[in-house]
Structure 1
Amino acid sequence: MDFTYLNTLAGGYDREQVLHDLIHAYRHDVWDYAFSITRSVDLSDDIAQDVFLKVYEKLHTFRGEASIKSWLLRITRNVSFNRMKSGFFRRVLLMGEMREAGAGAPSAEKQAMDRLQTSEAWQLVLGLPVKQREVLVLHAHHELTQEEIAKLLHLPLGTVKSRLHHARLKLAERYRGGMKHEGV
Protein backbone atom coordinates (compact mmCIF):
# COMPACT_ATOMS: atom_id res chain seq x y z
CA MET A 1 0.00 0.00 0.00
CA ASP A 2 1.35 3.43 -0.91
CA PHE A 3 1.21 5.98 1.90
CA THR A 4 3.02 8.84 0.16
CA TYR A 5 -0.20 10.84 0.35
CA LEU A 6 0.43 11.20 4.10
CA ASN A 7 3.24 13.65 3.30
CA THR A 8 0.74 16.14 1.89
CA LEU A 9 -2.30 15.69 4.12
CA ALA A 10 -4.45 18.73 4.66
CA GLY A 11 -6.71 19.34 7.63
CA GLY A 12 -9.76 17.76 5.99
CA TYR A 13 -8.52 14.20 5.57
CA ASP A 14 -10.47 11.22 6.88
CA ARG A 15 -8.44 10.12 9.93
CA GLU A 16 -10.54 7.00 10.40
CA GLN A 17 -9.84 5.81 6.87
CA VAL A 18 -6.12 6.57 7.17
CA LEU A 19 -5.99 4.69 10.48
CA HIS A 20 -7.87 1.77 8.97
CA ASP A 21 -5.38 1.62 6.09
CA LEU A 22 -2.40 1.80 8.45
CA ILE A 23 -3.76 -0.92 10.73
CA HIS A 24 -4.48 -3.15 7.76
CA ALA A 25 -0.99 -2.67 6.31
CA TYR A 26 1.14 -2.65 9.48
CA ARG A 27 -0.64 -4.37 12.35
CA HIS A 28 1.55 -7.46 12.13
CA ASP A 29 4.77 -5.43 11.98
CA VAL A 30 3.76 -3.42 15.05
CA TRP A 31 2.71 -6.51 17.01
CA ASP A 32 5.79 -8.52 16.03
CA TYR A 33 8.14 -5.71 17.02
CA ALA A 34 6.38 -5.21 20.36
CA PHE A 35 6.63 -8.96 20.99
CA SER A 36 10.34 -9.01 20.14
CA ILE A 37 10.88 -6.35 22.79
CA THR A 38 8.52 -7.56 25.53
CA ARG A 39 8.29 -11.31 24.87
CA SER A 40 4.68 -11.14 26.06
CA VAL A 41 1.66 -11.92 23.89
CA ASP A 42 -0.81 -10.03 26.08
CA LEU A 43 1.44 -7.00 26.42
CA SER A 44 2.09 -6.96 22.67
CA ASP A 45 -1.67 -6.89 22.06
CA ASP A 46 -2.01 -3.91 24.41
CA ILE A 47 0.97 -2.12 22.93
CA ALA A 48 -0.32 -2.54 19.37
CA GLN A 49 -3.62 -0.96 20.40
CA ASP A 50 -1.79 1.88 22.16
CA VAL A 51 0.39 2.48 19.12
CA PHE A 52 -2.55 2.87 16.77
CA LEU A 53 -4.35 5.10 19.26
CA LYS A 54 -1.28 7.33 19.36
CA VAL A 55 -1.10 7.29 15.57
CA TYR A 56 -4.75 8.35 15.38
CA GLU A 57 -4.12 11.22 17.80
CA LYS A 58 -0.80 12.30 16.24
CA LEU A 59 -1.37 11.61 12.56
CA HIS A 60 -1.01 15.31 11.79
CA THR A 61 2.58 15.21 13.15
CA PHE A 62 3.85 12.80 10.49
CA ARG A 63 6.34 14.85 8.46
CA GLY A 64 7.50 12.24 5.96
CA GLU A 65 11.14 12.39 7.10
CA ALA A 66 11.12 8.60 7.44
CA SER A 67 8.98 5.89 5.92
CA ILE A 68 5.59 5.33 7.50
CA LYS A 69 6.81 1.89 8.63
CA SER A 70 9.84 3.40 10.39
CA TRP A 71 7.59 5.99 12.04
CA LEU A 72 5.21 3.29 13.31
CA LEU A 73 8.08 1.14 14.56
CA ARG A 74 9.59 4.11 16.40
CA ILE A 75 6.26 4.69 18.14
CA THR A 76 6.05 0.95 18.90
CA ARG A 77 9.53 1.00 20.42
CA ASN A 78 8.76 4.00 22.60
CA VAL A 79 5.46 2.58 23.82
CA SER A 80 7.06 -0.82 24.48
CA PHE A 81 9.97 0.52 26.50
CA ASN A 82 7.74 2.94 28.41
CA ARG A 83 5.40 0.08 29.27
CA MET A 84 8.30 -2.13 30.39
CA LYS A 85 9.62 0.62 32.71
CA SER A 86 6.31 1.00 34.47
CA GLY A 87 5.30 -0.82 37.63
CA PHE A 88 2.20 -1.90 35.75
CA PHE A 89 4.34 -4.03 33.42
CA ARG A 90 5.96 -5.85 36.32
CA ARG A 91 2.57 -6.51 37.93
CA VAL A 92 1.11 -7.80 34.65
CA LEU A 93 4.02 -10.20 34.22
CA LEU A 94 3.69 -11.42 37.79
CA MET A 95 -0.07 -11.93 37.40
CA GLY A 96 0.52 -13.76 34.12
CA GLU A 97 2.98 -16.10 35.80
CA MET A 98 0.52 -16.75 38.63
CA ARG A 99 -2.34 -17.43 36.19
CA GLU A 100 -0.23 -19.85 34.18
CA ALA A 101 0.85 -21.72 37.30
CA GLY A 102 -2.79 -22.30 38.31
CA ALA A 103 -4.29 -22.64 34.85
CA GLY A 104 -5.75 -25.76 33.33
CA ALA A 105 -5.43 -26.45 29.63
CA PRO A 106 -3.75 -23.63 27.67
CA SER A 107 -5.72 -21.76 25.02
CA ALA A 108 -5.19 -22.39 21.32
CA GLU A 109 -3.52 -18.99 21.01
CA LYS A 110 -1.13 -19.82 23.86
CA GLN A 111 -0.29 -23.17 22.29
CA ALA A 112 0.40 -21.51 18.93
CA MET A 113 2.64 -18.91 20.55
CA ASP A 114 4.44 -21.60 22.53
CA ARG A 115 5.19 -23.41 19.28
CA LEU A 116 6.50 -20.19 17.79
CA GLN A 117 8.60 -19.42 20.84
CA THR A 118 10.04 -22.89 21.02
CA SER A 119 11.21 -22.97 17.45
CA GLU A 120 14.96 -23.07 17.65
CA ALA A 121 15.63 -19.95 15.61
CA TRP A 122 13.12 -17.82 17.50
CA GLN A 123 14.43 -19.07 20.85
CA LEU A 124 17.95 -18.11 19.82
CA VAL A 125 16.86 -14.63 18.74
CA LEU A 126 14.85 -14.06 21.93
CA GLY A 127 17.92 -15.12 23.92
CA LEU A 128 20.02 -12.27 22.54
CA PRO A 129 20.57 -9.13 24.61
CA VAL A 130 17.84 -6.60 23.86
CA LYS A 131 20.12 -4.19 21.97
CA GLN A 132 21.30 -6.92 19.59
CA ARG A 133 17.87 -8.56 19.34
CA GLU A 134 16.27 -5.24 18.45
CA VAL A 135 18.55 -4.42 15.50
CA LEU A 136 18.41 -8.00 14.23
CA VAL A 137 14.60 -8.09 14.29
CA LEU A 138 14.34 -4.68 12.63
CA HIS A 139 16.79 -5.71 9.91
CA ALA A 140 15.83 -9.34 9.27
CA HIS A 141 12.12 -9.40 10.06
CA HIS A 142 10.99 -5.85 9.32
CA GLU A 143 13.49 -5.43 6.46
CA LEU A 144 14.67 -1.99 7.48
CA THR A 145 17.99 -0.78 6.15
CA GLN A 146 20.81 -0.11 8.57
CA GLU A 147 20.34 3.61 7.94
CA GLU A 148 16.62 3.39 8.79
CA ILE A 149 17.42 1.46 11.97
CA ALA A 150 19.98 4.09 12.98
CA LYS A 151 17.37 6.84 12.57
CA LEU A 152 14.67 4.87 14.35
CA LEU A 153 16.89 4.08 17.34
CA HIS A 154 18.71 7.45 17.33
CA LEU A 155 22.06 5.68 17.03
CA PRO A 156 25.13 6.22 14.87
CA LEU A 157 25.20 3.97 11.81
CA GLY A 158 28.42 2.36 13.06
CA THR A 159 26.70 1.31 16.29
CA VAL A 160 23.87 -0.34 14.34
CA LYS A 161 26.36 -2.17 12.13
CA SER A 162 28.31 -3.32 15.18
CA ARG A 163 25.22 -4.56 17.03
CA LEU A 164 23.98 -6.37 13.95
CA HIS A 165 27.37 -7.98 13.41
CA HIS A 166 27.62 -9.11 17.05
CA ALA A 167 24.04 -10.40 17.01
CA ARG A 168 24.79 -12.54 13.96
CA LEU A 169 28.01 -13.85 15.52
CA LYS A 170 26.25 -14.71 18.77
CA LEU A 171 23.43 -16.47 16.92
CA ALA A 172 25.89 -18.51 14.87
CA GLU A 173 27.84 -19.41 18.01
CA ARG A 174 24.71 -20.43 19.91
CA TYR A 175 23.38 -22.38 16.94
CA ARG A 176 26.62 -24.33 16.61
CA GLY A 177 26.67 -24.88 20.38
CA GLY A 178 23.13 -26.24 20.34
CA MET A 179 23.96 -28.65 17.53
CA LYS A 180 26.98 -29.96 19.44
CA HIS A 181 24.80 -30.67 22.48
CA GLU A 182 22.36 -32.61 20.33
CA GLY A 183 25.15 -34.78 18.98
CA VAL A 184 24.96 -33.48 15.40
Structure 2
Amino acid sequence: MDSEVNFDYLKYLSDSTDKKAILHELMTAYGKDVWNYAYSITRKWDQADDITQEVFIKVYRNLYTFRCESSVKTWLLAITRNMTLDYRKSAFLRKVTLVDAFAAREEQAAATSAEHEVMARMTLNEMWDLVLKLPVKYREVLILFAHHQLSMKEIADVLGVSEGTVKSRLFHARSKISRLKESLDHGPDRQ
Protein backbone atom coordinates (compact mmCIF):
# COMPACT_ATOMS: atom_id res chain seq x y z
CA MET A 1 0.00 0.00 0.00
CA ASP A 2 1.41 3.34 -1.05
CA SER A 3 1.45 5.57 2.00
CA GLU A 4 1.14 9.34 1.80
CA VAL A 5 4.58 10.86 2.30
CA ASN A 6 4.45 13.49 5.03
CA PHE A 7 4.46 16.87 3.34
CA ASP A 8 2.91 18.79 6.24
CA TYR A 9 5.63 21.38 5.91
CA LEU A 10 4.00 22.53 2.65
CA LYS A 11 1.52 24.33 4.93
CA TYR A 12 4.33 26.44 6.34
CA LEU A 13 6.25 27.38 3.22
CA SER A 14 7.91 30.74 3.19
CA ASP A 15 9.89 32.64 0.58
CA SER A 16 13.12 31.30 2.05
CA THR A 17 12.14 27.64 1.56
CA ASP A 18 14.09 25.73 -1.09
CA LYS A 19 11.42 25.05 -3.73
CA LYS A 20 13.80 22.85 -5.74
CA ALA A 21 14.34 20.49 -2.81
CA ILE A 22 10.59 20.23 -2.21
CA LEU A 23 9.96 19.64 -5.91
CA HIS A 24 12.63 16.94 -5.95
CA GLU A 25 10.92 15.19 -3.01
CA LEU A 26 7.52 15.43 -4.71
CA MET A 27 8.91 14.05 -7.97
CA THR A 28 10.60 11.19 -6.14
CA ALA A 29 7.50 10.34 -4.14
CA TYR A 30 4.84 10.85 -6.83
CA GLY A 31 6.55 10.92 -10.22
CA LYS A 32 5.50 7.37 -11.11
CA ASP A 33 1.91 7.99 -9.97
CA VAL A 34 1.68 11.12 -12.12
CA TRP A 35 3.20 9.36 -15.15
CA ASN A 36 1.02 6.26 -14.75
CA TYR A 37 -2.14 8.36 -14.45
CA ALA A 38 -1.24 10.42 -17.52
CA TYR A 39 -0.47 7.21 -19.43
CA SER A 40 -3.72 5.58 -18.34
CA ILE A 41 -5.66 8.45 -19.90
CA THR A 42 -3.59 9.00 -23.06
CA ARG A 43 -2.25 5.46 -23.59
CA LYS A 44 0.87 7.00 -25.16
CA TRP A 45 4.32 6.98 -23.55
CA ASP A 46 5.55 10.18 -25.14
CA GLN A 47 2.44 12.11 -24.16
CA ALA A 48 2.65 10.77 -20.59
CA ASP A 49 6.29 11.91 -20.49
CA ASP A 50 5.37 15.41 -21.73
CA ILE A 51 2.42 15.73 -19.38
CA THR A 52 4.44 14.56 -16.37
CA GLN A 53 7.08 17.17 -17.12
CA GLU A 54 4.44 19.88 -17.50
CA VAL A 55 2.74 18.85 -14.25
CA PHE A 56 5.92 19.25 -12.24
CA ILE A 57 6.74 22.56 -13.94
CA LYS A 58 3.29 23.78 -12.94
CA VAL A 59 3.75 22.44 -9.40
CA TYR A 60 7.09 24.24 -9.13
CA ARG A 61 5.53 27.52 -10.23
CA ASN A 62 2.50 27.11 -7.95
CA LEU A 63 4.04 25.35 -4.96
CA TYR A 64 3.00 28.08 -2.55
CA THR A 65 -0.64 27.88 -3.64
CA PHE A 66 -1.16 24.40 -2.19
CA ARG A 67 -3.97 24.96 0.35
CA CYS A 68 -3.85 21.54 2.09
CA GLU A 69 -7.54 20.97 1.39
CA SER A 70 -6.61 17.55 0.04
CA SER A 71 -3.61 15.25 0.20
CA VAL A 72 -0.56 16.13 -1.87
CA LYS A 73 -1.19 13.04 -3.99
CA THR A 74 -4.78 14.11 -4.72
CA TRP A 75 -3.56 17.62 -5.60
CA LEU A 76 -0.95 16.24 -8.01
CA LEU A 77 -3.39 13.81 -9.66
CA ALA A 78 -5.93 16.61 -10.12
CA ILE A 79 -3.27 18.73 -11.82
CA THR A 80 -2.29 15.71 -13.94
CA ARG A 81 -5.88 15.15 -15.04
CA ASN A 82 -6.37 18.80 -15.96
CA MET A 83 -3.07 18.92 -17.84
CA THR A 84 -3.97 15.72 -19.68
CA LEU A 85 -7.37 17.06 -20.71
CA ASP A 86 -5.78 20.33 -21.86
CA TYR A 87 -3.09 18.42 -23.74
CA ARG A 88 -5.66 16.26 -25.52
CA LYS A 89 -7.62 19.35 -26.60
CA SER A 90 -4.60 21.22 -27.94
CA ALA A 91 -4.09 21.79 -31.63
CA PHE A 92 -0.64 20.25 -31.31
CA LEU A 93 -2.16 16.94 -30.25
CA ARG A 94 -4.60 16.93 -33.16
CA LYS A 95 -1.69 17.47 -35.58
CA VAL A 96 0.51 14.85 -33.93
CA THR A 97 -2.29 12.28 -33.88
CA LEU A 98 -2.54 12.45 -37.67
CA VAL A 99 1.17 11.70 -37.93
CA ASP A 100 0.97 8.86 -35.37
CA ALA A 101 -0.50 6.43 -37.89
CA PHE A 102 2.45 6.93 -40.23
CA ALA A 103 5.05 6.87 -37.47
CA ALA A 104 3.71 3.69 -35.84
CA ARG A 105 5.52 1.35 -38.25
CA GLU A 106 8.80 3.20 -37.77
CA GLU A 107 8.44 3.00 -33.98
CA GLN A 108 7.86 -0.76 -34.12
CA ALA A 109 11.07 -1.22 -36.05
CA ALA A 110 13.11 0.93 -33.67
CA ALA A 111 14.71 -0.60 -30.59
CA THR A 112 12.73 0.09 -27.45
CA SER A 113 14.20 1.39 -24.24
CA ALA A 114 14.09 -0.52 -20.98
CA GLU A 115 11.24 1.71 -19.79
CA HIS A 116 9.17 0.92 -22.86
CA GLU A 117 9.84 -2.79 -22.47
CA VAL A 118 8.67 -2.69 -18.86
CA MET A 119 5.52 -0.82 -19.85
CA ALA A 120 4.92 -3.23 -22.71
CA ARG A 121 5.04 -6.13 -20.24
CA MET A 122 2.61 -4.26 -17.99
CA THR A 123 0.16 -3.76 -20.83
CA LEU A 124 0.37 -7.46 -21.61
CA ASN A 125 -1.16 -8.12 -18.26
CA GLU A 126 -4.71 -9.14 -19.06
CA MET A 127 -6.38 -6.98 -16.44
CA TRP A 128 -4.38 -3.88 -17.39
CA ASP A 129 -5.40 -4.45 -21.02
CA LEU A 130 -9.03 -4.66 -19.99
CA VAL A 131 -8.81 -1.47 -17.97
CA LEU A 132 -7.21 0.36 -20.89
CA LYS A 133 -10.13 -0.71 -23.12
CA LEU A 134 -12.63 1.14 -20.92
CA PRO A 135 -13.84 4.61 -21.87
CA VAL A 136 -11.78 7.32 -20.13
CA LYS A 137 -14.42 8.25 -17.55
CA TYR A 138 -14.56 4.64 -16.29
CA ARG A 139 -10.87 3.93 -16.73
CA GLU A 140 -9.72 6.92 -14.70
CA VAL A 141 -12.09 6.30 -11.77
CA LEU A 142 -11.00 2.66 -11.58
CA ILE A 143 -7.31 3.57 -11.72
CA LEU A 144 -7.67 6.29 -9.08
CA PHE A 145 -9.50 3.87 -6.80
CA ALA A 146 -7.59 0.62 -7.34
CA HIS A 147 -4.11 1.75 -8.31
CA HIS A 148 -3.76 5.07 -6.50
CA GLN A 149 -6.02 3.98 -3.61
CA LEU A 150 -7.79 7.31 -3.30
CA SER A 151 -10.98 7.64 -1.27
CA MET A 152 -14.32 8.37 -2.96
CA LYS A 153 -14.06 11.99 -1.80
CA GLU A 154 -10.51 12.34 -3.15
CA ILE A 155 -11.55 10.85 -6.50
CA ALA A 156 -14.50 13.25 -6.63
CA ASP A 157 -12.11 16.14 -5.95
CA VAL A 158 -9.67 15.03 -8.67
CA LEU A 159 -12.44 14.55 -11.25
CA GLY A 160 -14.54 17.53 -10.22
CA VAL A 161 -17.71 15.43 -9.82
CA SER A 162 -19.87 14.33 -6.89
CA GLU A 163 -19.11 11.26 -4.78
CA GLY A 164 -22.33 9.71 -6.12
CA THR A 165 -21.01 10.07 -9.67
CA VAL A 166 -17.74 8.44 -8.61
CA LYS A 167 -19.62 5.49 -7.06
CA SER A 168 -21.76 5.13 -10.18
CA ARG A 169 -18.77 5.24 -12.53
CA LEU A 170 -16.88 2.77 -10.36
CA PHE A 171 -19.85 0.39 -10.43
CA HIS A 172 -20.13 0.67 -14.22
CA ALA A 173 -16.36 0.29 -14.66
CA ARG A 174 -16.36 -2.94 -12.65
CA SER A 175 -19.36 -4.23 -14.61
CA LYS A 176 -17.69 -3.47 -17.93
CA ILE A 177 -14.47 -5.18 -16.79
CA SER A 178 -16.47 -8.27 -15.79
CA ARG A 179 -18.22 -8.39 -19.16
CA LEU A 180 -14.94 -7.91 -21.05
CA LYS A 181 -13.32 -10.67 -18.99
CA GLU A 182 -16.25 -13.03 -19.60
CA SER A 183 -16.13 -12.38 -23.34
CA LEU A 184 -12.40 -13.17 -23.34
CA ASP A 185 -12.88 -16.30 -21.25
CA HIS A 186 -15.78 -17.69 -23.26
CA GLY A 187 -15.79 -15.88 -26.62
CA PRO A 188 -13.06 -17.57 -28.68
CA ASP A 189 -13.87 -21.12 -27.50
CA ARG A 190 -17.49 -20.92 -28.60
CA GLN A 191 -16.86 -19.68 -32.10
Which category of TM-score, normalised to the shorter sequence, fits these structures?
over 0.9
Give the number of equivalent residue pairs.
184
Which position in structure 2 is the counterpart of 1:156? 162
CA distance 1:40–1:19, change in 2 (3 Å):
same
Once superposed, which parts of structure 1, at least 4 consecutive aligned residues long, lie more than 4 Å away? none
Matches of 1:71 and 1:102 in 2, distance apart?
37
Identity score, percent: 47
Q: Does 1:31 align with 2:35?
A: yes
Matches of 1:156 and 1:57 in 2, distance apart?
29
Matches of 2:95 and 2:118 in 1, distance apart?
24
Q: Does 1:138 align with 2:144?
A: yes
Show CA shifts across 1:89-143 (max 9, x none): 1222333332222342441344443332232111110111111111001000111
Q: Does 1:79 align with 2:62?
A: no
RMSD: 1.6
Matches of 1:66 and 1:90 in 2, distance apart?
33
Matches of 2:50 and 2:153 in 1, distance apart?
29
Q: What is the letter of the counterpart of residue 124 of structure 2?
A: T
SS state at 2:6 partner: coil
SS state at 1:71 partner: helix
Which runs of 5 or more structure 1 residues have no equivalent in the other structure? Answer: none
The normalised TM-score by structure 2 is 0.90
* Superposition deviation, residue 76 in structure 1: 0.3
Matches of 1:183 and 1:157 in 2, distance apart?
40
Matches of 2:21 and 2:188 in 1, distance apart?
52
Range 77-86 or range 116-125, more displaced: 116-125
Matches of 1:113 and 1:66 in 2, distance apart?
30
- Is the contact between residue 156 and residue 163 of structure 2 (CA under 8 Å) also seen in structure 1? yes
Which position in structure 1 is the counterpart of 2:49? 45
Matches of 1:102 and 1:179 in 2, distance apart?
34
Match runs of 1:105-144 below 5 Å: 105-108=110-113, 109-144=115-150
Show CA shifts across 1:51-98 (max 9, x none): 000000000100100000000001000100000001211222333332
- Aligned equivalent of 2:98, options 94, 99, 108: 94
Matches of 1:138 and 1:157 in 2, distance apart?
13
Which position in structure 2 is the counterpart of 1:67? 71
SS state at 1:183 partner: helix
Which position in structure 2 is the counterpart of 1:16? 20
Show CA shifts across 1:30-55 (max 9, x none): 00000011110000000000000000
- Is the contact between residue 78 and residue 157 of structure 2 (CA under 8 Å) also seen in structure 1? no
Q: What is the letter of the counterpart of residue 94 of structure 1?
A: L
Q: What is the letter of the counterpart of residue 141 of structure 2?
A: V
Q: What is the letter of the counterpart of residue 57 of structure 2?
A: L
